[in-house]
Amino acid sequence: MAANVFARPQRSFGRSFLQTLPIAVWAVLMASAAYGHANRAQWIATVATALFMVTLFFQMMRTSTTYRWRRWFFVAVGLLFPVGFIHQVMVLIAPFLRDDEREHLNALAGAYAR
């Protein structure tokens, strides 16, 4: 079997860490915006998202490949988008509903959040 001539050796851990450091600082700054006014579930979700993104970026820097790690990102976006989208639609459309519709929507949102 022929060797892959396009394969790159992995970068060192230190160099990969240094290349990931600006993204990690950016993720911490973005996550800190949610600290003051988020409940515990939102804070946990924010930290998990930041760690996920920093880990993917670190792996991209370490292996010098992006296609393998982008797959994980797009699968996560594909799975999590409907959850966030449905919640946002429920929150944004609620002020325009009649009282009985709002009660029904609140019951659905409560069941959905559990």
Is residue 112 situated within a structural domain?
Answer: yes
Does 94 have pLDDT greater than 70?
Answer: no
Is residue 6 situated within a structural domain?
Answer: no
- Which structural domain, as residue segments, surrounds residue 42? 11-65
Structural domains counted in the chain: 2
Is residue 109 situated within a structural domain?
Answer: yes
In this structure, the dihedral spanned by the alpha carbons of residues 27, 31, 32 and 36, taken in order and rounded to 10 degrees, is 180
Read off the pLDDT of residues 38-91 as tens digits, 9 standing for 90 and up. Answer: 677 777 878 888 888 888 888 888 888 878 788 888 888 788 777 777 767 766
What is the distance between the alpha carbons of residues 91 and 85, in angstroms, rounded to a whole number?
10
20 shares a domain with 55: yes
84 shares a domain with 60: no
Read off the pLDDT of residues 20-33 as tens digits, 9 standing for 90 and up. Answer: 898 888 888 877 77
Query: Which residues touch 98 (CB under 8 Å, ≥6 apart)?
Result: none
